[in-house]
Amino acid sequence: MTQTIYQALAELEASGRAAVLCTVVRSRGSTPRRSASKMLVYPDGRILGSIGGGQMESRVISVALDALESGQPRLLEYSMTDPARGDPGICGGQVEIYVEPLAPRPVLLVVGGGHVGRALAHLAKWLGFRVVLSDDRAEFCNPEAVPDADAYHCVEPAALAQVVEITAWTYIALTTRGVDVDAACLPELLQSPAAYIGVIGSLRRWLATREKLLAAHVPEEQIARVRSPIGLELNAETPEEIAVSIMAEIIMLRGGGDGKPMSER
């Protein structure tokens, strides 16, 4: 049985994956498809449904992939009269297509289930993130120790990137117990498309981690992706305050903010 657009949308919501919904919102004259016709475009270019096929559909797929990357919707207008002047067809009508990127719920990957990791998972869950927890110590990586995670991966640090799917909607916070753990998992994480990679600890601790990464031949441009010390400067002390600092930085980056007090605007 062929999957419908609506079934596919429900599946995307359940699995936390991205796609772009393209809908014919207006058609006039002779056009390939009527208003309300829909097409779903997946990140790899696959489609489900159709808005008319041909050159017009090909153009819309290209725009849809750009919209998915930018996160911005588009309203496209096409006349289908004269291919010699660049029209995508000769039907004679006009069509408007709304291109809507469907970004999945953001994911926070917390590496380290200690005091800060537990507080961070709780806050991120409250903020609407899907929370994935990883720790190589089983006693710190379970629903009893950290009840607010959606998924648990008790694996060695170096194997983390092999068992967790990391996308452009994944934010990674390393709240681990030390430099050795950070240096073990970062080389693979830094090759991922994650939107954010932050490492807890002092500047001195980060510099020690950085030296280990350089010794392991991790490129400088990859290391530069790391934000450490993690979070915004709030003079935070308790695990809960540190969690607020970390999530404030993530929210700032997601929304394109600058972290300045609103009173200074």
Alpha-carbon distance of 253 to 222, in angstroms, equals: 18
Q: Which residues contact 168 (CB under 8 A, 6 or more apart)?
A: 193, 194, 195
CATH C-level class of 107-260:
alpha beta
Whether the CB-CB separation of 80 and 87 falls below 8 Å is answered with yes
Residue 197's pLDDT is what? 98
Between strands 38-41 and 47-49, the pairing is antiparallel
Closest CA to 51 of 42, 40, 43, 62: 40
Summarised one tens digit per residue, pLDDT across range 84-140 is 444 445 555 788 899 999 988 899 999 999 999 999 999 999 999 999 999 999 999
User: What are the residue boundaries of the structural domains of the chain, listed by start?
Assistant: 16-102, 107-260
Rounded to two decimals, the pTM is 0.81
- Report whether pLDDT(145) > 80: yes
Say which amino acid occupies 182: D
More confident residue, 22 or 17: 22
User: 87 with 148: CB under 8 angstroms?
Assistant: no
